[in-house]
Amino acid sequence: MKVIWSLIFILILASCSQENSNDISADILITGGTVYDGHDTAGENLDIAINGDQITYVGPAGQYKISAARTIDATGLIVAPGFIDPHTHSLDDLQNPDKKLNANYLMQGVTTVFNGNDGGGPSNIRETLDKLEEDGIGSNTALFVGQGNVRQSVMQMRDDEPTYGEMEIMK
């Protein structure tokens, strides 16, 4: 009998929890939009909760009670992941105070651009990315190592094959 009363007491205590597991707190809640997840499926009306720079919930509208500091009504709009453009020449624009927003890409749904294609990228990627972050830019960016710049820093403008030692330096 003591075991039964102990179990009942534990169940009563567990039901007194202050937090409802069906509640979600978010910085931003996007509701009413048709969400396309990038798979070959039809769009769905889903809620999207965002905390900081993380998407913390994507699911059926109304499945959870979501409280948010800001709610965006996307009724009649499409919500889709940002596109990635793996071959751009936008680094000069990102380094220009008047063009660093990269609006021409963002307005087309491109949220990440790659730069340094065709061998012309910076040889010091960390320094370049740190400067872009410090200055603030509109899109995400990734950089390829500019093999042309690396080669030129080791071999100057010599038009021949690198020596073994030069290849080791370039690695």
For residues 132-144, one letter each, b for 16 or more C-beta atoms within 10 angstroms of the residue's C-beta and e for the rest, the string is beeeebbbebebb
- Read off the pTM: 0.62
- Report the C-alpha gap between 67 and 24 in whole angstroms: 6
pLDDT in tens, 40-75: 788 999 999 999 989 999 999 788 899 999 999 999
Q: Residue 106 pLDDT more than 60?
A: yes
pLDDT in tens, 8-48: 445 454 444 445 467 899 999 999 999 987 777 889 999 99
| Domains present along the chain, CATH in parentheses | 21-79 (2.30.40.10), 83-170 (no CATH)
User: Among positive and negative, which fits the CA dihedral 74, 69, 139, 80?
Assistant: negative
What average pLDDT score do residues 153-160 get?
A: 91
Q: What is the structure's pLDDT at 37?
A: 76
Count the neighbouring beta carbons within 10 Å of the beta carbon of residue 117. 15
